[in-house]
Chain A
């Protein structure tokens, strides 16, 4: 007899366990924060004193979804007004329809400005993606018509640009005398309100700084987890956006995750992004120390590195023939954010400390550099089961997948790109052939590489049913199928968003499937992903989650 404590049996329409040895059940039993077992109600009842809770009788229970690549600003950005092109639900569950024209953007801003009581307060917005408004460019002149004297700043979806209005330009002293190349100019030669790259955006002063600071707050962390719960996620990975050596940021993570109410587990990656100059050996040591102090909800043990930029920004490192139709003035390839020659030395201290290295590689040249670095490090310090992971892995080639399989590396594939930018990749960035083999879940599967798929929220919205839908259907925003031969089946996609994601953050012994002894983390769904039309996968309703045995109903409000 394994349990002395009373337990709860949740009969369900179906329990999908993602455990190949016991794939389905009629009910799941939860004792405290753990799974007592899965099977029929009678089988589970035989464990002893229990209570039956029928609240999920009409629902399908799956292992809680695990996002192995997103960022805490996913919560922080909601302090600002959303003006992105696609519909997006905020952490309070409110749906923000996409702004599909410049007029929509202006209307949204006008409303946000009208709702603000303090006249001097800056209006902050985010998510603008000019790639969807070819031809016309939203500039200060447009903003002025709806924001008047109120300083206004819109951070673009890329994170590399901001557009501000004339009031904010005036406040920050940005005028015709500006010499910075980060200040864009219109046809009349005057600054048009667009600020490029950090050197330009910092000229917006506090407005930009405030937006970034919001990501460090407790509120951002709550919103981050609320959004997860609403989408059926029980674990989020903050992949390299927390400076763990900063007591305030670490303290806020500890504080929010300490109570039972916080609706997600969080894996916080160690990172030396954003120019931190700490010695990697010291960061490795700190990460090992944090791991020894981790709790059920706050986890450590992975490291984020970054090699290149983004494909849609033409900054990813892509091997010859490089970009298909780059913008005028763009020369050749993208850029390195870390020197490829330096990579092995950078990976080594983390590798030796027993940590798992996750490296951002959008282009295939970046993947090549990372795989080679892992080969070198393994030669110096052989180590089994490291699970070093290629993150984004968007243009990874079949030969690279074979090498990754041989080395024991994992892939986390940016499947959401197919929907959100697939049309642009085919027509502009890499051209039809390479777009068809981007985000190659099919090849990963065939090569025997363990892979997950991700949203990179806030870059694209968090929600594994949508991400799985992308991997299964490979349908772009315009409704075309991009590379049908790389599609995977629903069962493989469901593994990718649960057990395989857990595996690459080394938590597959605890979460990722519904098995006796694992943590009771479930996604509770309104329908069965294995039986719906694959094109309807993303439309399945989410009741909420169960996190460590605690019911976490989603908050969806349709205003």
Chain B
């Protein structure tokens, strides 16, 4: 993997749950270069102001990337994306309303791509009925089970907070360890959807300047339901510490992302220059129960990337210095 690997976000969920609204929200809320693949019948419903040109088989988006369909299969769509417009940093695949998002996620393992997360939308008002429908109950439950990030959308349509809590508990029972996020009009904080901002900036230093809103290390509030913390790493971290961190994340963690140098063994506290040279770089990520540790090829001709780990957690679930102390207590 290298800095040009394209992250893949799959957006699934039953008809009417708000998948398209979420896609538009993402395109509107980030300056990441995102290409979109849609798989549903009906018109591609990207908001008009996000489109600069429309062709018979693709749309050119304001971010310079394109939106196309799976009409000729995924390989063709990918080719279309790679040859048209700007090379994207991320691919958003909107699954059809009856698709198994886990199957679509398999495309995220195509060489050159990296599966980031499976986001499944649920309609707060309808999901219970759908999950017991005579025909689609199993389809809806399969979709919910595939989620890394389960968005309980249209939460404002529920009468009161108790109902929302009860619904989220019930959904937690159907999911397999997904991070559950409540939203209205699919307005999920963008850092929760795409990963902590400061960490993705680190990954992309070769490609673009760090934007102004890069998070400072320490406490940071993401919308009002989440908060984030970032630890900048000035030395390699022992690999077992990183592995232990990923293996045992508390429930409150919605997202974690980092670019780290892993030292082969413990003892990074008195790191020498030789050890730093021996260390292997990894991109580490966690969302829901999905965690990954991907070798990361640094480019010797470029300045070194920013080594840091960021995480986003449900507000009040973690101490502000949890990550910092976690990394140290294991050292």
Instruction: Determine if A276 and B109 form an interchain contact, defined as CB atoms under 8 angstroms apart.
Output: no
Residues of B within 8 A of A92 (CB): none
Stretch among A177-185, A457-465, A528-536 lining the B interface: A177-185
The 10 A-B residue pairs whose C-beta atoms are closest, nearest first, are A180-B109, A275-B70, A199-B106, A336-B98, A202-B75, A276-B71, A277-B69, A179-B109, A340-B135, A339-B98
Is the C-beta of B172 less than 8 angstroms from some C-beta in chain A? Answer: no
Among B42, B43, B136, contact of A340 (Cβ-Cβ < 8 Å): B136
Which among B14, B15, B40, B138 is the interface contact of A277 at CB below 8 angstroms?
B40
The reply to whether B139 and A274 form a contact with Cβ atoms under 8 Å apart is no
Given the complex of chains A and B, what is the CA–CA distance between A312 and B42 in angstroms?
A: 30
Do B109 and A279 have beta carbons less than 8 Å apart?
no
Chain A residue total in the interface (Cβ 8 A): 42
Nearest residue, chain B, Cβ from A332: B138
In the complex, the chain A residue whose C-beta lies closest to that of B70 is A275
**Inter-chain contacts of A179 with B (CB < 8 A):** 109
Looking at chain B, what size class is its interface with the partner chain?
A: 20 to 34
**B72 in contact (CB, < 8 A):** yes
Partner of A197, one of B38, B98, B103: B103
Instruction: State how many angstroms separate the Cβ of A317 from the closest Cβ of chain B.
Output: 8
The reply to whether A369 and B135 contact each other, CB–CB distance below 8 Å, is yes
- Assess whether B211 is interfacial by the CB under 8 Å rule: no
Q: Is the CB of A280 within 8 A of B41?
A: yes
Select A338's contact among B44, B71, B98, beta carbons within 8 Å.
B98
Q: Which residue of B lies closest to A182 (CB)?
A: B106
Chain B residues whose CB sits within 8 angstroms of the CB of A336 once the complex forms: 98, 135-136, 139
Q: Say which residue of B43, B98, B106 sits within 8 Å of A200 (CB atoms).
A: B106
| Closest beta carbon of chain B to A351's beta carbon, Å | 16
19 contacts between A and B (CB under 8 A): A173-B111, A179-B109, A181-B106, A183-B109, A197-B106, A198-B74, A199-B104, A199-B107, A209-B76, A245-B56, A272-B41, A274-B72, A275-B39, A277-B41, A280-B41, A337-B98, A339-B97, A339-B98, A341-B15
CB distance from A361 to the nearest CB of B (A): 13
Contacting residues, chain B, for A182 (C-beta < 8 A): 106, 109
Q: Which residue of B lies closest to A308 (CB)?
A: B98
B41 touches A333 (CB 8 A): no
Q: Which residue of B lies closest to A274 (CB)?
A: B71
User: Does residue A243 face the partner (Cβ distance < 8 Å to B)?
Assistant: yes
Residue of A at shortest CB range from B115?
A179
Chain B's closest residue to A280 (CB) is: B41
Q: Which residues of A contact B30 (CB under 8 A)?
A: none
Minimum C-beta distance from A337 to chain B (A):
7
Query: 4 new A-B pairs (CB below 8 Å) besides A173-B111, A275-B71, A277-B40?
Result: A277-B43, A337-B98, A339-B15, A340-B135
Contact of A209 with B75 in the complex, beta carbons under 8 Å:
yes
User: B136 near A341 (CB under 8 angstroms)?
Assistant: yes
Q: A200: which B residues are within 8 A, CB to CB?
A: 106
Q: Which residues of A contact B70 (CB under 8 A)?
A: 274-275
Q: Does A21 contact B (CB under 8 A)?
A: no
A residues with a Cβ closer than 8 A to B are 173, 178-183, 197-200, 202-203, 205, 208-209, 212, 243, 245, 272, 274-280, 317, 331-333, 335-342, 346, 365, 369
- The answer on a CB contact under 8 Å between B98 and A335 is yes
What total of A-B pairs shows CB separation below 8 Å?
96
Partner pick for B138 among A205, A280, A331, CB 8 A cutoff: A331
Q: A277-B69, A280-B41 in contact; A199/B109 too (CB < 8 A)? A: yes
Q: Mark B72-112, 1 if CB is under 8 A from A, else 0.
A: 11111000000000000000000011101001101101110
Interface string of B108-123 (1 = CB under 8 A from A): 0111000000000000
Most A CB contacts (10 A, CB to CB) among B69, B97, B138 go to B138
Which of B72, B106, B136 has the most A CB atoms < 10 Å from its CB?
B106
A275 / chain B contacts, CB cutoff of 8 Å:
39-40, 69-71, 96
A498, B76: Cα distance in complex, Å: 39
List the B side residues contacting A274 at CB < 8 Å. Answer: 70-73
User: Nearest Cβ distance between residue A178 and chain B, in whole angstroms?
Assistant: 7
Which residues from chain A contact B71 at a C-beta distance below 8 Å?
243, 274-277
Residues from chain B with Cβ under 8 Å of A183 in the complex: 109
Tell me whether B103 and A199 are in contact (CB under 8 A).
yes
Whether B136 lies near A199 (C-beta < 8 A) is no
Contact A365 B98, CB 8 Å, known A181-B106, A202-B110: no
The answer to whether B97 and A342 have CB atoms under 8 Å apart is: yes
Q: Are A333 and B138 in contact (CB under 8 A)?
A: yes
Report the bound CA distance from A364 to B40 in whole Å.
Answer: 24
Instruction: Tell which of B41, B111, B135 has the most Cβ of chain A within 10 Å.
Output: B41
> In the complex the two chains form, what is the Cα distance from A540 to B96 in whole Å?
47
Contact in complex: B110, A203 (CB < 8 Å): yes
**Is B73 in contact with A277, judged by CB distance below 8 angstroms?**
no
- What chain A residues lie within 8 Å of B107 (beta carbons)? 199, 202
Residues of B within 8 A of A317 (CB): 135
Q: Is the CB of B42 within 8 A of A279?
A: yes
Residues from chain A with Cβ under 8 Å of B135 in the complex = 317, 336, 340-341, 365, 369
CB-based contact A277/B38 at 8 Å: yes
Q: What's the Cα separation between A199 and B136 when bound, in Å? A: 24
Complex CA gap A335/B73 in Å reads 19
Which A residues lie within 8 Å of B104 (CB)?
199
Using an 8 Å CB-CB cutoff, how does the interface string of B45-75 with A read, 1 for contact, 0 for none? 0000000000010000000000001111111
**Chain A residue with Cβ nearest B16:** A341
B278 → chain A, closest Cβ, in Å? 22
Question: Which residues of the other chain, A, contact B109 by a CB distance below 8 angstroms?
Answer: 178-183, 199
Which B-chain residue is minimally distant from A245 (CB atoms)? B56
Residues of B within 8 A of A199 (CB): 74, 103-104, 106-107, 109-110
Bound complex: CA of A278 vs CA of B69, how far in Å?
10
| A279/B75 in contact, CB under 8 A | no
**Partner of A198 from B15, B44, B73 at Cβ < 8 Å:** B73
A276 to B111, CA, bound (A): 25
Q: Are B106 and A180 in contact (CB under 8 A)?
A: yes
In the complex, A277 Cα to B41 Cα: how many Å? 4
Q: Please, which residue of chain B has its CB at the minimum distance from the CB of A317?
A: B135
| Chain B residues in 8 Å Cβ range of A272 | 41
Q: Which of A180, A272, A279, A346 is most buried by chain B, counting CB atoms within 10 A of its CB?
A: A180
